[in-house]
Amino acid sequence: MTETTADYRVIIGDSRKMQELANNSVNLVVTSPPYPMVGIWDDFFREESAESYDEMHSYLSQTWKEVKRVLAPGGLACINIGDATRTKDGMFHLYPNHSRVIETFEHLGLVTLPYILWKKPTTKPRYKGKGAFLGSGFLPPNAYVTLDMEYILIFRKGSLRTFEPKDPKRYGSKFTKNERDEWFSQVWSVKGTRQTHGKLERRVAAFPEEIPRRLIRMFSIEDDLVLDPFLGSGTTLKAAMDLSRRFIGYEKLQDFSGIIQERMGHESERIVFRKQSVMEQVGSPLTA
Protein backbone atom coordinates (compact mmCIF):
# COMPACT_ATOMS: atom_id res chain seq x y z
CA MET A 1 0.00 0.00 0.00
CA THR A 2 1.51 3.34 -1.00
CA GLU A 3 0.88 6.38 1.10
CA THR A 4 -1.31 8.10 -1.50
CA THR A 5 -3.66 5.11 -1.70
CA ALA A 6 -3.82 4.53 2.07
CA ASP A 7 -7.40 4.50 3.29
CA TYR A 8 -6.65 5.21 6.97
CA ARG A 9 -4.47 8.08 8.07
CA VAL A 10 -3.59 9.60 11.41
CA ILE A 11 -1.83 12.95 11.36
CA ILE A 12 -0.06 13.87 14.56
CA GLY A 13 -0.58 17.59 14.33
CA ASP A 14 -2.94 20.51 14.62
CA SER A 15 -6.37 20.45 12.99
CA ARG A 16 -6.51 24.24 13.01
CA LYS A 17 -4.57 23.90 9.72
CA MET A 18 -5.42 20.72 7.85
CA GLN A 19 -3.14 21.36 4.88
CA GLU A 20 -3.07 17.63 4.14
CA LEU A 21 -6.73 17.81 3.07
CA ALA A 22 -7.93 19.33 -0.20
CA ASN A 23 -10.94 21.67 -0.25
CA ASN A 24 -14.29 19.82 -0.58
CA SER A 25 -12.73 16.40 -0.03
CA VAL A 26 -14.47 15.03 3.10
CA ASN A 27 -17.96 13.51 3.23
CA LEU A 28 -18.48 13.36 7.00
CA VAL A 29 -16.90 14.81 10.13
CA VAL A 30 -17.50 13.00 13.45
CA THR A 31 -15.73 14.49 16.43
CA SER A 32 -15.67 15.61 20.04
CA PRO A 33 -13.40 18.56 20.89
CA PRO A 34 -12.00 19.53 24.30
CA TYR A 35 -14.97 21.07 26.16
CA PRO A 36 -14.51 24.74 27.17
CA MET A 37 -14.83 25.40 30.92
CA VAL A 38 -14.79 21.69 31.83
CA GLY A 39 -12.09 21.08 34.45
CA ILE A 40 -10.17 18.24 32.73
CA TRP A 41 -9.44 20.55 29.78
CA ASP A 42 -8.24 23.57 31.78
CA ASP A 43 -4.52 22.69 31.50
CA PHE A 44 -4.90 21.95 27.81
CA PHE A 45 -6.47 25.34 27.06
CA ARG A 46 -4.02 27.13 29.36
CA GLU A 47 -1.11 25.69 27.36
CA GLU A 48 -2.80 27.14 24.26
CA SER A 49 -3.14 30.55 26.00
CA ALA A 50 -6.93 30.23 25.89
CA GLU A 51 -8.07 30.97 29.43
CA SER A 52 -11.50 32.55 29.04
CA TYR A 53 -14.67 30.98 27.66
CA ASP A 54 -14.39 33.22 24.57
CA GLU A 55 -10.73 32.34 23.99
CA MET A 56 -11.45 28.62 24.28
CA HIS A 57 -14.18 28.90 21.64
CA SER A 58 -11.91 31.03 19.42
CA TYR A 59 -9.38 28.19 19.61
CA LEU A 60 -11.99 25.60 18.52
CA SER A 61 -13.43 27.91 15.85
CA GLN A 62 -10.19 27.74 13.89
CA THR A 63 -10.77 24.01 13.41
CA TRP A 64 -14.46 24.57 12.62
CA LYS A 65 -13.39 26.96 9.84
CA GLU A 66 -11.16 24.25 8.40
CA VAL A 67 -14.02 21.75 8.70
CA LYS A 68 -16.07 24.00 6.47
CA ARG A 69 -13.26 24.23 3.90
CA VAL A 70 -12.62 20.49 3.64
CA LEU A 71 -16.26 19.31 3.70
CA ALA A 72 -17.67 18.42 0.30
CA PRO A 73 -20.92 20.09 -0.80
CA GLY A 74 -23.73 18.25 0.99
CA GLY A 75 -21.21 16.85 3.53
CA LEU A 76 -22.16 16.70 7.21
CA ALA A 77 -20.40 17.50 10.48
CA CYS A 78 -21.48 15.82 13.75
CA ILE A 79 -20.02 17.42 16.87
CA ASN A 80 -20.36 15.93 20.33
CA ILE A 81 -20.08 18.57 23.05
CA GLY A 82 -21.35 19.11 26.58
CA ASP A 83 -22.19 22.32 28.41
CA ALA A 84 -20.30 23.28 31.55
CA THR A 85 -21.02 24.89 34.91
CA ARG A 86 -18.57 26.77 37.08
CA THR A 87 -18.57 29.16 40.00
CA LYS A 88 -16.76 32.33 39.04
CA ASP A 89 -16.31 35.34 41.31
CA GLY A 90 -18.70 33.66 43.74
CA MET A 91 -21.45 33.30 41.13
CA PHE A 92 -22.64 30.00 39.67
CA HIS A 93 -22.78 30.06 35.83
CA LEU A 94 -23.80 27.88 32.93
CA TYR A 95 -21.46 27.88 29.94
CA PRO A 96 -23.66 26.70 27.06
CA ASN A 97 -20.95 25.32 24.78
CA HIS A 98 -23.46 23.79 22.40
CA SER A 99 -25.04 27.15 21.57
CA ARG A 100 -21.62 28.75 20.94
CA VAL A 101 -20.75 25.98 18.49
CA ILE A 102 -24.10 26.38 16.71
CA GLU A 103 -23.50 30.14 16.41
CA THR A 104 -20.04 29.56 14.99
CA PHE A 105 -21.29 27.15 12.34
CA GLU A 106 -24.13 29.51 11.47
CA HIS A 107 -21.61 32.32 10.98
CA LEU A 108 -19.54 30.02 8.78
CA GLY A 109 -22.63 29.55 6.63
CA LEU A 110 -23.41 25.90 7.33
CA VAL A 111 -26.97 24.67 7.78
CA THR A 112 -27.91 23.67 11.34
CA LEU A 113 -29.95 20.46 11.43
CA PRO A 114 -31.93 18.96 14.33
CA TYR A 115 -29.52 17.65 16.94
CA ILE A 116 -29.30 14.65 19.26
CA LEU A 117 -29.33 14.74 23.04
CA TRP A 118 -27.13 12.00 24.39
CA LYS A 119 -28.16 10.87 27.86
CA LYS A 120 -25.58 8.66 29.51
CA PRO A 121 -27.55 6.30 31.74
CA THR A 122 -24.61 6.08 34.16
CA THR A 123 -24.44 9.81 34.79
CA LYS A 124 -25.30 10.61 38.41
CA PRO A 125 -25.45 14.14 39.72
CA ARG A 126 -21.99 14.97 41.12
CA TYR A 127 -20.52 18.02 42.73
CA LYS A 128 -16.87 18.33 43.75
CA GLY A 129 -16.44 14.59 43.25
CA LYS A 130 -19.41 13.68 45.45
CA GLY A 131 -22.82 12.52 44.38
CA ALA A 132 -25.05 15.54 44.97
CA PHE A 133 -27.43 17.99 43.44
CA LEU A 134 -25.96 21.37 42.69
CA GLY A 135 -27.12 24.15 44.95
CA SER A 136 -29.02 23.69 48.17
CA GLY A 137 -30.19 20.08 48.26
CA PHE A 138 -33.91 19.81 49.02
CA LEU A 139 -34.77 23.44 49.65
CA PRO A 140 -36.34 25.70 47.03
CA PRO A 141 -35.50 27.88 45.22
CA ASN A 142 -31.68 27.67 45.08
CA ALA A 143 -30.97 24.17 43.74
CA TYR A 144 -29.64 23.78 40.18
CA VAL A 145 -30.68 21.37 37.47
CA THR A 146 -27.97 18.76 36.80
CA LEU A 147 -26.36 18.61 33.36
CA ASP A 148 -26.86 14.99 32.43
CA MET A 149 -27.08 15.35 28.65
CA GLU A 150 -24.49 15.98 26.01
CA TYR A 151 -25.22 17.26 22.52
CA ILE A 152 -24.48 15.80 19.14
CA LEU A 153 -24.83 18.81 16.88
CA ILE A 154 -25.34 18.22 13.17
CA PHE A 155 -24.48 20.65 10.36
CA ARG A 156 -24.53 20.41 6.59
CA LYS A 157 -22.44 22.31 4.05
CA GLY A 158 -24.88 23.59 1.44
CA SER A 159 -27.82 21.67 0.10
CA LEU A 160 -28.61 17.96 0.10
CA ARG A 161 -26.05 15.57 -1.34
CA THR A 162 -27.22 13.96 -4.56
CA PHE A 163 -26.70 10.45 -5.93
CA GLU A 164 -27.25 8.54 -9.15
CA PRO A 165 -30.56 6.64 -9.06
CA LYS A 166 -30.07 3.26 -7.30
CA ASP A 167 -26.47 4.12 -6.40
CA PRO A 168 -25.19 0.68 -5.27
CA LYS A 169 -22.98 1.99 -2.43
CA ARG A 170 -25.84 4.06 -1.07
CA TYR A 171 -28.28 1.16 -1.22
CA GLY A 172 -25.61 -1.16 0.24
CA SER A 173 -25.32 1.20 3.24
CA LYS A 174 -29.00 1.35 4.17
CA PHE A 175 -30.23 0.92 7.72
CA THR A 176 -33.11 -1.20 9.06
CA LYS A 177 -36.46 0.14 10.26
CA ASN A 178 -35.50 -0.49 13.89
CA GLU A 179 -32.18 1.28 13.43
CA ARG A 180 -33.91 4.23 11.78
CA ASP A 181 -36.55 4.49 14.52
CA GLU A 182 -33.95 4.44 17.30
CA TRP A 183 -31.16 6.48 15.69
CA PHE A 184 -33.33 9.27 14.28
CA SER A 185 -35.12 9.98 17.54
CA GLN A 186 -33.80 12.95 19.46
CA VAL A 187 -32.72 11.34 22.74
CA TRP A 188 -30.08 8.63 22.73
CA SER A 189 -29.40 6.46 25.72
CA VAL A 190 -25.88 5.17 25.25
CA LYS A 191 -23.64 4.14 28.13
CA GLY A 192 -20.48 6.17 28.66
CA THR A 193 -17.18 4.42 28.01
CA ARG A 194 -14.75 2.95 30.55
CA GLN A 195 -11.40 4.68 30.46
CA THR A 196 -8.72 2.01 30.46
CA HIS A 197 -5.45 3.69 29.58
CA GLY A 198 -4.76 5.52 32.81
CA LYS A 199 -4.06 9.19 33.12
CA LEU A 200 -3.72 10.04 29.44
CA GLU A 201 -6.96 8.43 28.31
CA ARG A 202 -8.84 9.80 31.30
CA ARG A 203 -7.76 13.17 30.05
CA VAL A 204 -8.98 12.39 26.54
CA ALA A 205 -12.56 11.59 27.60
CA ALA A 206 -13.29 9.05 24.87
CA PHE A 207 -16.83 8.58 23.60
CA PRO A 208 -18.24 5.04 23.31
CA GLU A 209 -17.82 3.38 19.92
CA GLU A 210 -21.59 3.22 19.51
CA ILE A 211 -21.71 7.02 19.01
CA PRO A 212 -19.46 7.29 15.90
CA ARG A 213 -20.77 3.92 14.66
CA ARG A 214 -24.35 5.24 14.52
CA LEU A 215 -23.37 8.60 13.06
CA ILE A 216 -21.24 7.03 10.33
CA ARG A 217 -24.09 4.65 9.37
CA MET A 218 -26.63 7.51 9.44
CA PHE A 219 -24.70 10.09 7.47
CA SER A 220 -22.25 8.40 5.09
CA ILE A 221 -22.05 5.56 2.62
CA GLU A 222 -19.37 2.91 2.02
CA ASP A 223 -16.03 4.29 0.81
CA ASP A 224 -16.84 7.84 1.93
CA LEU A 225 -14.03 9.82 3.55
CA VAL A 226 -14.64 10.45 7.28
CA LEU A 227 -12.62 13.01 9.27
CA ASP A 228 -12.10 13.36 13.03
CA PRO A 229 -10.09 16.55 13.73
CA PHE A 230 -9.86 15.79 17.50
CA LEU A 231 -9.03 12.10 17.32
CA GLY A 232 -7.91 11.26 20.87
CA SER A 233 -7.78 7.50 21.36
CA GLY A 234 -9.09 6.74 17.86
CA THR A 235 -12.73 5.77 18.51
CA THR A 236 -13.99 7.29 15.23
CA LEU A 237 -11.16 5.62 13.29
CA LYS A 238 -12.12 2.23 14.74
CA ALA A 239 -15.78 2.68 13.75
CA ALA A 240 -14.87 3.95 10.25
CA MET A 241 -12.60 0.97 9.65
CA ASP A 242 -15.25 -1.52 10.79
CA LEU A 243 -17.78 0.13 8.48
CA SER A 244 -15.59 0.27 5.33
CA ARG A 245 -15.30 4.04 5.20
CA ARG A 246 -11.99 5.79 4.47
CA PHE A 247 -10.65 7.89 7.31
CA ILE A 248 -8.31 10.71 8.25
CA GLY A 249 -7.81 11.94 11.81
CA TYR A 250 -5.78 14.68 13.53
CA GLU A 251 -4.43 14.45 17.05
CA LYS A 252 -2.11 16.98 18.61
CA LEU A 253 -0.55 14.73 21.22
CA GLN A 254 2.06 12.32 19.88
CA ASP A 255 1.45 9.96 22.84
CA PHE A 256 -1.90 8.94 21.40
CA SER A 257 -0.36 7.14 18.42
CA GLY A 258 0.71 4.34 20.82
CA ILE A 259 -2.79 4.15 22.35
CA ILE A 260 -4.39 4.04 18.90
CA GLN A 261 -2.01 1.31 17.72
CA GLU A 262 -2.66 -0.75 20.83
CA ARG A 263 -6.40 -0.36 20.44
CA MET A 264 -6.43 -1.32 16.75
CA GLY A 265 -4.22 -4.39 17.22
CA HIS A 266 -3.09 -5.96 13.93
CA GLU A 267 -5.45 -3.63 12.02
CA SER A 268 -3.03 -0.81 12.80
CA GLU A 269 -0.82 -2.13 10.00
CA ARG A 270 -3.40 -0.62 7.64
CA ILE A 271 -3.05 2.84 9.19
CA VAL A 272 -0.48 5.40 8.03
CA PHE A 273 0.72 7.53 10.96
CA ARG A 274 2.48 10.76 9.98
CA LYS A 275 3.66 13.94 11.60
CA GLN A 276 2.00 17.00 10.11
CA SER A 277 3.62 18.48 6.96
CA VAL A 278 5.48 15.26 6.18
CA MET A 279 2.60 14.03 4.07
CA GLU A 280 1.41 15.24 0.69
CA GLN A 281 -2.16 16.47 0.30
CA VAL A 282 -4.82 13.76 0.01
CA GLY A 283 -8.40 13.60 -1.18
CA SER A 284 -9.60 14.93 -4.48
CA PRO A 285 -12.37 17.49 -4.41
CA LEU A 286 -15.83 15.91 -4.40
CA THR A 287 -19.05 17.28 -5.80
CA ALA A 288 -22.52 16.99 -4.31
Ligand X SMILES: C[S@@+](CC[C@H](N)C(=O)[O-])C[C@H]1O[C@@H](n2cnc3c(N)ncnc32)[C@H](O)[C@@H]1O
Which residues contribute to the site for ligand X (CB under 6 A)?
14-16, 32-34, 63, 204-207, 230, 232-233, 235, 250-253
Which CB atom, from 105 or from 207, has the smaller least distance to ligand X? Answer: 207
Which CB atom, from 104 or from 235, has the smaller least distance to ligand X? Answer: 235
Min separation Cβ 261 and ligand X, Å: 14
Measured between alpha carbons, how far is 215 from 154 in angstroms, rounded to an integer? Answer: 10
Phi, psi of 213 (to 5 degrees): -60, -50
Q: Tell me the residue number closest to ligand X, measured at CB.
A: 232
Beta bridge partners of 153: 79
Min separation Cβ 62 and ligand X, Å: 8
Which CB atom, from 70 or from 204, has the smaller least distance to ligand X? Answer: 204
Which CB atom, from 215 or from 286, has the smaller least distance to ligand X? Answer: 215
Min separation Cβ 212 and ligand X, Å: 8
Alpha-carbon distances of 68 from 50, 63, 285, rounded to whole Å: 22, 9, 13
Sign of the Cα torsion 188, 220, 244, 240 reads: negative
**DSSP labels, 82-120:** --EEEEETTEEEEE-HHHHHHHHHHHHTPEEEEEEEEE-
Which CB atom, from 63 or from 220, has the smaller least distance to ligand X? Answer: 63
Which CB atom, from 204 or from 218, has the smaller least distance to ligand X? Answer: 204
State in Å, rounded, how far the first CA of the chain is from the last one. Answer: 29
Measured between alpha carbons, how far is 107 from 188 in angstroms, rounded to an integer? Answer: 28
Which CB atom, from 105 or from 230, has the smaller least distance to ligand X? Answer: 230
Contacts of 242 (CB under 8 A, 6+ apart): 213
> 248: helix, coil or strand?
strand
Min separation Cβ 201 and ligand X, Å: 7
> 137: helix, coil or strand?
coil
- The 10 Å Cβ neighbour count of residue 192 is 16
Min separation Cβ 257 and ligand X, Å: 11
Measured between alpha carbons, how far is 282 from 37 in angstroms, rounded to an integer? Answer: 35
Min separation Cβ 38 and ligand X, Å: 9
Min separation Cβ 159 and ligand X, Å: 29
C-alpha closest to that of 95 among 154, 36, 31: 36
